[in-house]
Amino acid sequence: MQFLLEVVDILTNYVKKTFDRSTKVLDFHHPHQLLEGMEGFNLELSDQPESLEQILVDCRDTLKYGVRTGHPRFFNQLSSGLDIIGLAGEWLTSTANTNMFTYEIAPVFVLMEQLTLKKMREMIGWPGGEGDGLFSPGGAISNMYSVMIARYKYFPEVKTKGMSAAPRLVLFTSEHSHYSIKKAGAALGFGTENVILLSTDERYLKKKKKKPGYVPLFVNATGGSTVYGAFDPINEIADICEKYNLWLHVDGAWGGGLLMSRKHRHKLNGIERANSVTWNPHKMMGVPLQCSAILVREKGILAGCNSMCAGYLFQPDKQYDVTYDTGDKAIQCGRHVDIFKFWLMWKAKGTIGFEQHIDKCLDLSQYLYNKIKNREGYVMVFDGVPQHTNVCFWYIPPSLRGMPDGPERQEKLHRVAPKIKAMMMESGTTMVGYQPQGNKVNFFRMVVSNPAATQSDIDFLIDEIERLGHDL
Amino acid sequence: MQFLLEVVDILTNYVKKTFDRSTKVLDFHHPHQLLEGMEGFNLELSDQPESLEQILVDCRDTLKYGVRTGHPRFFNQLSSGLDIIGLAGEWLTSTANTNMFTYEIAPVFVLMEQLTLKKMREMIGWPGGEGDGLFSPGGAISNMYSVMIARYKYFPEVKTKGMSAAPRLVLFTSEHSHYSIKKAGAALGFGTENVILLSTDERYLKKKKKKPGYVPLFVNATGGSTVYGAFDPINEIADICEKYNLWLHVDGAWGGGLLMSRKHRHKLNGIERANSVTWNPHKMMGVPLQCSAILVREKGILAGCNSMCAGYLFQPDKQYDVTYDTGDKAIQCGRHVDIFKFWLMWKAKGTIGFEQHIDKCLDLSQYLYNKIKNREGYVMVFDGVPQHTNVCFWYIPPSLRGMPDGPERQEKLHRVAPKIKAMMMESGTTMVGYQPQGNKVNFFRMVVSNPAATQSDIDFLIDEIERLGHDL
């Protein structure tokens, strides 16, 4: 127990320093450097035990060479920040060290999950918060669930007979949707070629409907895309889905949090018409990783799709109401307790606290957008005001500003963001993502979900991009 | 930070009491009782925040009404115990709050995962520890990976074209294997009817091979079955797989830990001939939940099977060696850091420490088996000495001992284990699992994986079964 308290001491010091802007976000080293052993930090495992003192050193080193995702200047992923209540919740979860599959060994957590999912369904707008759901290990798996359930709804015999019992099925998803829909298509036996990317403007769906031998099954609308933060027009898509009797899934992994905000929830208008929704509190709502929910409007279908009735876990002759044993709804057997930290944060903040956090993050993005939209050396990647906290832009170093557009300039510009990012990581001052998209060369994608970030951190990021990129 | 330390105080007290045998394993309540609010423990969420004081009360209540899975007398699941090093590791993991998908934001954890997986592959016996692998959210998902990879190996075009690009594929798995193989069959589009349960004695495989229109793809051999703890004869199965060119997977979720023991690893002889292996350190090795590995002998196939090359995460133009970005190998996008607690425990115990733990648990099971095999009122479910820590038995209350065998006695016996279990849970003294299996009525399945358990706890369990069951 003394050991545990010494680790706590290391951890609380780490947390304090993480919130201190004079601390570096990271102390970058290449894989081979860490593998060679930094100042005695030996990653290799051996037959003989190490002393507890050495274990404490290992803990310190692990944190030292890691990345401070809670740092106010860490903007690299959709998930960032370090909420102390959420952290305490996660510590309690690991101390309880149990499993969500039965009420028997996780009575409190199972009930918390049920109540929280109901609350989320109410916010989606399903009547009475009815329906079903689960917390799953991440948005990709939540999206995979939606495809599985859609298939079970229309072709339940696939569960027993396999894909040969169904016609050739097609999944539709918006062009900028997350790659996990394609991944689900590959894994579940649809094939990536049968996952059709479409821009909703094209009304591609109608055309596809007529292609012989292909049966449309499922449409994914994105509520907050990964790179642009764009929201598909859910109502329009829902009209098409209703007309053609297709399953409508809304991937709100990133944007679902906006349902908490009276000011911004209109961006998800129509979500109440979806058959299923992915919503990751570990992204926009600052809940520690992992915390992702798949929510389903129809009751019973999740269990219908996945249950195998394993006798050793789900005995029907238990003394309690076994409908509380949720394990057979999942594709997992054991399932990590992801609910408690979220439940505890909700208790501590109230719905109103999440709303304030979300509104503040969107305000900060607006601040960034206003700051750079007409600033010399910046070009926005898409027109108009960002709908989410994503602000996508090119930084044009002075050397490229006078250059005529063309392949040479594009090629040079393509190398700017990676170079700045590499220097950022080496100086350890801040982190922000970049990527190409379609025929667009590498650009920065700034996102804000970190509760610790302020306007001064946005200013710092811009200063840093200019400092590092000025002479490129 | 003061708040966090107060939570730590609650947690360390909880841990201390968990190891104290005078503490109850659980304080059982029915779902409706907890939902009605026990002594003010209100599970409902609301718009307004709660005070931090109330949050601390919530934490205490959550633990109070939960189940102490680390208690020396908790034998209910394959995962039990509470290792303090592992717990500290998990606290550090949640404090670091990062994601395994890129080296960029999880440099140390990514390397720890690689080194640990290599070490595990060495213990399996693959030359030079070569191959690939991932930690996944549980054994069911690890098993699902094995089926996906097998399909990709023999029919890579299924990834793009779907199951219609392959003939009707059949998966084989041993009769007592875990239900997750069937679940994978349903999810991945094979269909549960094409997951054939077989006893290896039947040599069913050969017959099936000849059935027209069906192509055998994959065989799962179980290394430590869930209920009986039985080990399939891997070498015999490997011979058949080699002859017919089938993928051999070994589900060592439960039994894999025995590879750590020089005394017991022979039970997995032949595992080095497998194409893939599931091994859950969170079961037999006492690592906190969740910690499950899928290990693959062939390098590159995991990425081949699952990669989608998402540009926003896996940029090829990063400054470091991007082969360390492991995310595209996974069916998940974000992936929880499951490695650190395991790595830290391995450092602290050494391989030798895991070996001692495993040998001790098997000795305890042997002790239980010797104690009850000839004891009045006990009937063993299967013949011979247990191969793993599973000891399966019926307790026959005195009222049934004189009764002739037949449907009436079977029906009565079927109700004994659930009744004793219900009383156990209500008195909160200990927990052990039960289930029916095939035509066998409900029996107890005792398993030992808890490092805190001793012979006195085994004695206690038997006394308790007799105390509660005597008058049934």
A303–chain B nearest CA distance, Å:
12
* Closest residue in chain A to residue B314, using alpha carbons only: A435
Which residues span the domain enclosing B269? 99-336
Q: Give A307: exposed, middle or buried? Use CB within 10 Å, 0-12, 13-18, 19+.
A: middle
Measuring CA to CA, how many Å separate B396 from each of B300, B374, B379, B459?
54, 13, 8, 17
Q: Is the Cβ pair A108, B140 closer than 8 Å?
A: no
Q: Is the residue at A86 inside a domain?
A: yes
Query: How large is the average pLDDT for residues B202-229?
Result: 80
Give me Rg for the CA atoms of chain A. 24
Q: Is the residue at B425 inside a domain?
A: yes
Query: How large is the average pLDDT for residues A318-328?
Result: 93
Contacting residues of A for B148, CB less than 8 Å apart: 187
pLDDT, residue A211, reads 63
Measuring CA to CA, how many Å separate A354 from each of A290, A358, A453, B398?
17, 6, 15, 60
Residue B137 has pLDDT above 70, yes or no: yes
pLDDT, residue A345, reads 98
Q: Which element (helix H / strand E) includes A361?
A: helix A339-372
Q: Taking Cα atoms as reference points, which of A192, A48, A66, A293 lies closest to residue B106? A: A66
Q: Tell me, yes or no, whether A459 and A406 share the same domain.
A: yes
The pair of structure tokens assigned to A83 is 């909420």
Residue B354 has pLDDT above 80, yes or no: yes
Query: How large is the average pLDDT for residues B30-48?
Result: 94
Q: Which residues contact A395 (CB under 8 A, 6 or more apart)?
A: A377, A378, A416, A417, A420, A444, A465, A466, A469
* Closest residue in chain B to residue A149, using alpha carbons only: B187
One-character DSSP codes across B62-127: HHHTSB-TTSTTEESSSS----HHHHHHHHHHHHH---TT-TTT-HHHHHHHHHHHHHHHHHHT-G
Residues A48, A94: contact at Cβ < 8 Å? no
Amino acid at residue number A61:
D
Tens digits of per-residue pLDDT, A42-60? 999 999 999 999 999 999 9
Tens digits of per-residue pLDDT, A204-241? 555 555 567 889 999 999 999 999 999 999 999 999 99
Tens digits of per-residue pLDDT, A247-287? 999 999 999 999 999 999 999 999 999 999 999 999 999 99
Instruction: Show the CA angle centred on residue A158, arms to residues A157 and A159, nearest 5°.
Output: 85
Query: How large is the average pLDDT for residues A23-33?
Result: 97
A155–chain B nearest CA distance, Å:
11
Tens digits of per-residue pLDDT, A76-106? 999 999 999 999 999 999 999 999 999 999 9
Q: Is the Cβ pair B162, A189 closer than 8 Å?
A: yes
Residue A38 has pLDDT above 90, yes or no: no
Distance CA(B76)–CA(A375), nearest Å, equals 64
Cis preceding linkage at A319, omega within 30? no
Q: Tell me, yes or no, whether A344 and A313 share the same domain.
A: no
Q: Is the residue at A267 inside a domain?
A: yes
Q: Tell me, yes or no, whether B244 and B276 share the same domain.
A: yes
Residues A56, B84: contact at Cβ < 8 Å? no
Confidence of residue B313 (pLDDT cuts 50, 70, 90): confident
Tens digits of per-residue pLDDT, B437-462? 999 999 999 999 999 999 999 999 99
Of B62, B98, B110, the CB nearest to A69: B98
Contacting residues of B for A332, CB less than 8 Å apart: 137-138, 140-141
Q: Tell me, yes or no, whether B121 and B199 share the same domain.
A: yes
Q: What percent of chain A has pLDDT over 70?
A: 97
DSSP code for A8: H
pLDDT, residue B205, reads 56
Residue B203 has pLDDT above 70, yes or no: no
Of B45, B85, B119, the CB nearest to A55: B85
Tens digits of per-residue pLDDT, A411-432? 999 999 999 999 999 999 999 9
Distance CA(A82)–CA(B98), nearest Å, equals 10
Q: Is the Cβ pair A187, B50 closer than 8 Å?
A: no
Q: What percent of chain B has pLDDT over 90?
A: 93
Task: Kindly report the length of chain A.
Answer: 472
pLDDT, residue B1, reads 85
Of B289, B315, B415, the CB nearest to A435: B315
Amino acid at residue number B31:
P
Q: Is the Cβ pair B164, A162 closer than 8 Å?
A: no
Residue B210 has pLDDT above 60, yes or no: no
Last residue of a domain, one of B336, B353, B368: B336
Q: Tell me, yes or no, whether A299 and A415 share the same domain.
A: no
Task: Kindly report the length of chain B.
Answer: 472
Contacting residues of B for A340, CB less than 8 Å apart: 62
Q: Tell me, yes or no, whether A254 and A272 share the same domain.
A: yes
Residue B16 has pLDDT above 60, yes or no: yes
Q: Tell me, yes or no, whether A106 and A253 share the same domain.
A: yes
Confidence of residue A311 (pLDDT cuts 50, 70, 90): confident
Per the prediction, chain A carries an average pLDDT of 95
Contact pairs from chain A to chain B, CB under 8 Å: 458
Q: Is the Cβ pair B49, A82 closer than 8 Å?
A: no
Mutate to test the interface with A, among B347, B414, B435, B443 (most CBs of A within 10 A): B347
* Closest residue in chain A to residue B103, using alpha carbons only: A31
Report the greatest alpha carbon distance in chain A: 78
Of A186, A350, A422, the CB nearest to B46: A350
According to DSSP, the β-strands at B168-174 and A431-437 are unpaired
CATH code for position B111 = 3.40.640.10
pTM listed for this prediction: 0.97
What are residue B86's phi and psi, to 5 degrees? -60, -40
CATH code for position A71 = 3.90.1150.170
Q: What percent of chain B has pLDDT over 70?
A: 97
Residue B101 has pLDDT above 80, yes or no: yes
ipTM: 0.97
Measuring CA to CA, how many Å separate B52 from each of A12, A339, A349, B95, B371?
18, 19, 10, 20, 51
* Closest residue in chain B to residue A52, using alpha carbons only: B348
Q: Is the Cβ pair B318, A415 closer than 8 Å?
A: no
Residues B465, B416: contact at Cβ < 8 Å? no
Q: Tell me, yes or no, whether B88 and B139 share the same domain.
A: no
Q: Is the residue at B74 inside a domain?
A: yes
Q: Is the Cβ pair A188, B187 closer than 8 Å?
A: yes
Q: Is the residue at A52 inside a domain?
A: no
**Percentages (nearest 5) of helix, strand, coil residues in chain A:** 45, 15, 40
* Closest residue in chain B to residue A19, using alpha carbons only: B1
* Closest residue in chain A to residue B158, using alpha carbons only: A191
The 3-state DSSP class for residue B135 equals strand
Q: Is the residue at A463 inside a domain?
A: yes
Q: Is the Cβ pair A312, B227 closer than 8 Å?
A: yes
Of A108, A138, A332, the CB nearest to B62: A108
Contacting residues of B for A61, CB less than 8 Å apart: 108
Contacting residues of A for B44, CB less than 8 Å apart: 115
pLDDT, residue A175, reads 87
The strand order across the sheet containing B168-174 reads: B132-136, B292-296, B276-279, B247-252, B214-222, B168-174, B195-198
Contacting residues of B for A435, CB less than 8 Å apart: 311-313, 315
Residue B31 has pLDDT above 80, yes or no: yes
Per the prediction, chain B carries an average pLDDT of 95
Q: Tell me, yes or no, whether A329 and A399 share the same domain.
A: no
Q: Is the Cβ pair A187, B331 closer than 8 Å?
A: yes
Of A98, A324, A422, the CB nearest to B67: A98
Q: Is the residue at A50 inside a domain?
A: no
Last residue of a domain, one of B316, B336, B356: B336
Confidence of residue A1 (pLDDT cuts 50, 70, 90): confident
Q: Tell me, yes or no, whether B332 and B353 share the same domain.
A: no
Q: Tell me, yes or no, whether B328 and B344 share the same domain.
A: no
Q: Is the residue at B57 inside a domain?
A: no
Q: Which residues contact B156 (CB under 8 A, 6 or more apart)?
A: B304
Q: Is the Cβ pair B161, A191 closer than 8 Å?
A: yes
Q: Tell me, yes or no, whether B15 and B112 share the same domain.
A: no
Last residue of a domain, one of A336, A370, A397: A336
Contacting residues of B for A312, CB less than 8 Å apart: 226-227, 433, 435, 437, 445
Mutate to test the interface with B, among A28, A82, A92, A443 (most CBs of B within 10 A): A92
Query: How large is the average pLDDT for residues B2-28?
Result: 98
Domain total of chain B: 2
Confidence of residue A200 (pLDDT cuts 50, 70, 90): low
pLDDT, residue A309, reads 86
Tens digits of per-residue pLDDT, A126-144? 999 999 999 999 999 999 9
